[in-house]
Amino acid sequence: MSSNSISNQKSTWARRLSASACLSLTDPNFTRYMDNVALPGGLRSEFRLPKKSAINSTSSSITDHSSSTAPTSIDDEETDACVYLCGNSLGLQPRRAAEMVLEEMDVWAERAVNGHFDHPLGRNWADFADLCLPTLASLVGASSTSEVAVNGSLTTNLHMLMITFYRPTKERYKILLEARAFPSDTYALTSQVEMHGFDPSESLVFLSPREGEYHLRTEDILSTITKEGPSIALVLLPGVQYYTGQAFPIQQITSAAHQQGCIVGWDLAHAIGNVVLDLHSSQVDFAVWCSYKYLNAGPGAIAGFFVHEKWTSQPDGLNGRPRLAGWFGHNPETRFKMPERFEPIKGANQFVHSNPSIFSLINLYSSFQLFSIYPGGFKSLRSRSEELTSYLEIGLKGLKTYQDLTSASSISNQPKFSIITPSDPKARGSQLSLIFLPIGKGLMNEVHRKLIEKGILSDEREPDVLRFSPVALYNTFEDCRKSIEALDEVMNELS
């Protein structure tokens, strides 16, 4: 981040502080001003908030739905709400989700198989997935709903699409990915390389940060693509890196890889619903994602993928590339006539194999309704996300136990922390990754435990990192302030 950008950011917060008539950015009155006057937004009341009493409880009890007790009010829920900064791991439950799941249970009970084509609420199970596609296409920047599909899980979809898009030869067989990729990606790519008879130690090209740094420089990525390009069959990178929170310039990297003749795929697990995406215009070949993080579709929710229309719009299909086929990828006009010959849907849905779980789809659909009604659309939501993360960053860097990353490797016995996420809001998602110092001394685990005791739920990543993720749909500036205050108390207790 340039010095001018840092200066402008500080000036912006100084003006807001002055306008609020408060003396400190961590004054509760200032965050009330930000949440209610300067930058109101979010749809917090549309989500169920985890309870402080529950995350600190050793009890095995849960809500008794058989009781006639009146439901807890939103105000009462706020009183016992923890500060939840784990939306990059598991998004919160939309309030409407439970009711909509029960509606589908009732249709199953009352209409059974007829729910596929005669649904009382107009959500016929046979094509219910189509209801999710408009919002999905908008979130990833598809040209139309024909470029996106909901299906399976992220890693399963990655394997499935690699059957089509990873076709190694003796000359072009390598896969470019980042070092410390999410392990499931590494496992999948390794097994694909081995399945084709190649040696992973020779076929996987890992991008590593420079010594003493934690995130990748774009110029180093482009340099590696230029150097290794003629032997690279596939580039697979994350839209947002799960560990550091770094966001990558998708269009720039995709263009550079295409110039070298590479196929380009993206893992968008931490990007979809988090940062603005424009996959079609960026000419991305394919992308995969999960739906349980920023899309709030629940644990293990149905995932999705994107396939650029250039691969599916021609009569001859995939330009001679193979695909794995199933009956839900067949033309819906004749699907239930059970023809023997596969007739692919024109678009990404030709890769879908089977009918999806309605009970997973309905959770995704309930969340998509919230994205659809957000004032100003997703770009407005992303702007709020940048503001929340910026405020959290400034507050954390103002603590006396914060240590600049450039000196993080210096030896000290005093508990400190640094931030390994890029400072440029355009180069990160809604996440700050805090690394606790001294490295390797187990401080992170102790900090995490004490934060939970104070009602702050963040995400731990061994061995030394806690991830703080303020999600614009439901987190507030007050959540960020409480997190800053709690971390300050914990670090002082441990000093």
Q: What average pLDDT does the segment 320-325 reach? A: 90
Does residue 456 share a domain with residue 364? no
270 marked ligand binding residue = yes
Note whether residue 193 is domain-resident. yes
More confident of the two residues 322 and 74? 322
pLDDT in tens, 361-380: 999 999 999 999 999 999 99
Alpha-carbon gap, residue 17 to 13, rounded angstroms: 6
274 marked ligand binding residue = no
Note whether residue 110 is domain-resident. no
Does residue 335 share a domain with residue 273? yes
Would you say residue 69 has pLDDT above 60? no
Q: Which domain holds residue 38?
A: 3-62+72-81+377-494
Does residue 282 share a domain with residue 246? yes
Give 398's pLDDT tier (boundaries 50, 70, 90). Answer: very high
Which of 349, 369, 389 finishes a domain?
Answer: 369
pLDDT in tens, 93-121: 999 999 999 999 999 999 999 999 999 99
139 burial via Cβ count (<10 Å: 0-12, 13-18, 19+): buried
258 marked ligand binding residue = no
Does residue 438 share a domain with residue 299? no
Alpha-carbon gap, residue 89 to 182, rounded angstroms: 12
Does residue 388 share a domain with residue 344? no
Instruction: Report the Cα–Cα distance between both ends of the chain, in Å, rounded.
Output: 31
Would you say residue 233 has pLDDT above 90? yes
184 marked ligand binding residue = yes
Note whether residue 104 is domain-resident. no
- Per-residue model confidence (pLDDT) at position 68: 46
Does residue 418 share a domain with residue 396? yes
- Residue 431 in contact with residue 88, Cβ under 8 Å? yes
94 marked ligand binding residue = no
More confident of the two residues 406 and 416? 416
Note whether residue 26 is domain-resident. yes
Does residue 385 share a domain with residue 359? no
164: CATH:
3.40.640.10
114 marked ligand binding residue = no
What integer best gives the mean pLDDT of the chain?
A: 93
Note whether residue 49 is domain-resident. yes
Mapped onto helix, strand or coil, the DSSP state of residue 345 is coil
459 marked ligand binding residue = no
- CA separation, residue 389 to residues 420, 477, 483 (Å): 14, 9, 12
Does residue 340 share a domain with residue 225? yes
36 marked ligand binding residue = no
Its pTM stands at 0.94
404: CATH:
3.90.1150.10
Which of 345, 369, 393 finishes a domain?
Answer: 369
Does residue 384 share a domain with residue 261? no
Note whether residue 272 is domain-resident. yes
Note whether residue 332 is domain-resident. yes
Does residue 351 share a domain with residue 488? no
Domain total in the chain: 2
292 marked ligand binding residue = yes
Give 66's pLDDT tier (boundaries 50, 70, 90). Answer: low
Tokens 């739906």 correspond to 291
Query: Tokens at residue 417, please?
Result: 């922390």
Does residue 463 share a domain with residue 344? no
280 marked ligand binding residue = no
Residue type, 132: C
Note whether residue 210 is domain-resident. yes
Alpha-carbon gap, residue 420 to 405, rounded angstroms: 7
Q: CB atoms < 10 A from the CB of 202, how many?
A: 11
CA 414 to chain centre: 34
Does residue 169 share a domain with residue 288? yes
Would you say residue 423 has pLDDT above 80? yes
Which of 309, 344, 369 finishes a domain?
Answer: 369
Percentage of the residues of the chain whose pLDDT score is greater than 90: 83
